[in-house]
Amino acid sequence: MSVQIPPTERLRTDTIQINMGPHHPSTHGVFRMVLTLDGETVVDLEPRFGYLHRGIEKTAEERTYVQNVPFTDRLDYICGITNNWAYALALEKLAGIEVPERAEYIRVILGELTRVMNHMLAIGFLWNDLGATTFTPVVYAFRERERILDLIEMAAGSRMMPSYIRAGGVVADLPEEFMPRLQKLVPHLKRFIDEMDTMLTKNEIFRARAVGVGVLKAKDAINAGVSGPVLRASGVPYDIRKVDSYSIYDRFDFEVPVHTAGDVYARYLQRLAEARQSLRIIEQAMRDIPEGPVTSLPYKQLSRLKPPKGEAYGRIESPKGELGFYLVSDGSNKPYRFRIRSTSLLNLTLLREMCIGHKVADVVTILGSIDITLGDVDR
Amino acid sequence: MLTHEEILSRLRERFPEAVLDVPEGMIDFTIVIAPQAWHDVALFLRDELGYDFLTNVTAVDWPDRFEVVYHLYGVQAGHPLLTIKLPVTDKENPVVPSVVDVWRSADFQEREEYDLMGIRFEGHPNLKRIMMWEGYEGHPLRKDFQNRTYSYAELEPTRKATPDW
């Protein structure tokens, strides 16, 4: 004898609230998400920040312009060079400082190397989040990162906290052995990107986990201030290197790759394509780099820099997106207001909308594909 | 792309009262808008002038006023930087309208300015502290905030001065 269940009486489930983080390996730092789950499906998500808040904006108001350079290293600690660059750019705009030709080329070379390094790490960590428990992609990415960091160390003296790009140029000229090493490294990195491509792109499990997950529509992305590879993977060809053509980016021949799907897979493909374009820029910069001075503002002048009263907003295309600095000067040697327009914080705006309806395991993937650094989120 | 004069004339035509000032000698083109008109102006800027990308929201604490600063770009229309400023003269209780429903990117940034600068954004759906913890008093980015060293006893009341071992 079988029991008949009337179709109106569906199984009732209760939602459960769990904390993911602050100490969770998939959050790439100290970041908490309060998830409301129905079974394994995400019903609601609330991001909580502030665990790495160091008050850099306040601290910077009490220090001189050159003393603030090391703080910028510690924002997005994966790519210190581009953080220095954004700050230098805003300060140069504020104080009207010219940058010598050779310094611009050095900035472009190191900045694009940083982009390659960041995108390789982002892909590696994405695979780590997907549960590639042998760590293979991330270890490969770290191996190549060390090669790039060696070059940055050669130029700046420090691997991760370079403080190398300052207003008016760069700190010191490149050592003699830099260029030969770079010439060997570029073809090597090209092979490495192809290797990652062959190894990962057509992987069936990866596609099953990444295609159609965490879709971000172009209109929503623009409205939410999302920038960088995440925006371009949603089909918006907006690259500040092309739009503002700051520094000397108008001299180089490169494309802005765009993917239209806006899902985790598109963001992965986007980073691979962008890393290839970066190497293209480095090759051209290596070929064209002129001799000459590397700074227009020696340290003694820089340390006494007093920009005229005023304010300026300077932004660059950092590997993660738009990184901007808003500086207000009252004519003294310290900034009156020092505002950091954080890339990672803005890219997290739509995390909730991207995650709702997906499984818990996908939340980890989506967060990994946005590629945040908590030092940049909390400042 | 719109010229500065075009932006100004279209704004003045639509909102004769809203444009308070266009300061001279600024590095970036800046328009000072009356705070009470800001929400309508924001909708106009987004829908009719094509400023669809609000990149930065911040505030500056001047001795006589707060200044809430917005940096706008037009991604689809290719507009360059436009800076909008709202002067808030009431230093005791600064209030400006929220623009979260116009640009979602204002969400976390308005919360941050509320937390660190103490500016209330009226109409924000979830206006609470974002960087500092709940129950924290004061707004660190204000100029009258006293920077001081905290003792361990203050930060961690449960922590013992000397460990048991």
The token pair at B67 is 């200044």
Q: Which residues neighbour A282 within 8 Å (Cβ) at sequence distance 6 or greater? A: A108, A109, A112, A113, A182, A186
Contacts of A312 in chain B (CB under 8 A): 27-28
| pLDDT class of B164 with cuts at 50, 70, 90 | low
The token pair at A196 is 């990652």
A276-292: b (≥16 Cβ within 10 Å) or e: bbbbbbbbbbeeebeee
CA B121, B126, B132, B134: dihedral to nearest 10 degrees?
120
| Residue A17 DSSP SS3 | strand
Closest chain B residue to A377, measured at CA: B131
The arithmetic mean of pLDDT across residues B79-89, rounded, is 90
DSSP for chain B reads: ---HHHHHHHHHHH-TTTEEE--TT-SS-EEEE-GGGHHHHHHHHHHTS---EEEEEEEEE-SS-EEEEEEEEETTTTEEEEEEEEEE--SSS-EEE--TTT-TTHHHHHHHHHHHH--EEET-TT---SSSPTT--S-TTSTT----PPPHHHH-TTS-SS---
Give the number of other Cβ atoms within 10 Å of residue A191's Cβ: 10
State residue A88's pLDDT score: 92
The token pair at A9 is 């009486």
Cα separation, B31 vs B43, whole angstroms: 16
List the alpha helices (DSSP H) in A69-172: 69-73, 80-95, 101-130, 136-156
Decide if B54 contacts B105 (C-beta within 8 A): yes
Q: Which residues neighbour B62 within 8 Å (Cβ) at sequence distance 6 or greater? A: none
The token pair at A339 is 């505002």
- Is residue B87 classed exposed, middle or buried when 0-12, 13-18 and 19+ CB atoms within 10 A define those classes? middle
CA distance A311 to chain B (A): 7
State residue A296's pLDDT score: 87
| Residue A326 DSSP SS3 | strand
The reply to whether residue A50 touches residue B132, judged by beta carbons under 8 angstroms, is yes
Contacts of B145 in chain A (CB under 8 A): 58
How would you classify the pairing of strands B79-88 and B95-97? unpaired
Q: What are phi and psi of A20, to 5 degrees?
A: -105, 110
Cis before A22 (ω within 30)? yes
| pLDDT class of B77 with cuts at 50, 70, 90 | confident
The complex's ipTM works out to: 0.85
State residue B158's pLDDT score: 67
Q: Of B116, B121, B139, nearest to B70 (Cα)?
A: B121
Cα separation, A109 vs A361, whole angstroms: 38
CA B101, A236, A324, A352: dihedral to nearest 10 degrees?
50
State residue A276's pLDDT score: 92
In this complex, is the C-beta atom of A220 within 8 Å of any C-beta atom belonging to chain B?
A: yes
**Residues in B 54-113 with any Cβ partner in A closer than 8 A:** 54-56, 58, 60-61, 69, 71, 75-76, 78, 81, 83, 103-105, 107-109
The reply to whether residue B108 touches residue A348, judged by beta carbons under 8 angstroms, is yes
The reply to whether residue B55 touches residue A322, judged by beta carbons under 8 angstroms, is yes
The token pair at A248 is 């000397």
Written as tens digits, the pLDDT of chain A (379 aa) is 566 666 666 667 788 888 887 887 777 778 888 999 888 888 889 888 888 888 898 888 888 998 999 999 888 888 889 999 999 999 999 988 889 999 999 999 999 999 999 999 888 888 888 877 666 778 888 888 999 999 999 988 888 898 899 888 898 889 989 999 999 999 999 999 998 888 888 888 888 888 888 888 998 999 998 998 999 999 899 989 888 888 889 888 888 999 998 889 999 999 999 999 999 999 999 888 898 888 888 888 888 888 898 899 999 999 998 999 999 998 888 999 999 998 989 998 988 888 888 888 888 889 888 888 888 888 8
Cross-strand bridge partners of residue B70: B57, B84
Place of tokens 């914080």: A345
Cα separation, A211 vs A205, whole angstroms: 10
Q: What is the pTM of this model?
A: 0.88
Q: What is the pLDDT of residues B26-72, one digit of tens each?
A: 888 899 999 988 998 999 988 888 898 999 999 999 988 899 999 99
In this complex, is the C-beta atom of B132 within 8 Å of any C-beta atom belonging to chain A?
A: yes
| Cα distances (angstroms) measured from residue A148 to each of A2, A8, A117, A143 | 69, 62, 7, 9
In this complex, is the C-beta atom of A58 within 8 Å of any C-beta atom belonging to chain B?
A: yes
CA A86, A88, A92, A93: dihedral to nearest 10 degrees?
20
**Residues in B 32-51 with any Cβ partner in A closer than 8 A:** none
Q: What is the pLDDT of residues A312-369, one digit of tens each?
A: 999 999 999 899 999 999 888 899 999 999 898 999 898 888 888 888 888 888 988 8
Cross-strand bridge partners of residue A310: A329
Q: Of A185, A152, A137, A162, nearest to A76 (Cα)?
A: A162
In this complex, is the C-beta atom of A376 within 8 Å of any C-beta atom belonging to chain B?
A: no
Decide if B131 contacts A378 (C-beta within 8 A): yes
The reply to whether residue B103 touches residue A225, judged by beta carbons under 8 angstroms, is yes
The reply to whether residue B60 touches residue A328, judged by beta carbons under 8 angstroms, is yes
Contacts of B61 in chain A (CB under 8 A): 337
State residue A52's pLDDT score: 87
Cα separation, A39 vs A358, whole angstroms: 11
Q: What are phi and psi of A58, to 5 degrees?
A: -75, -45
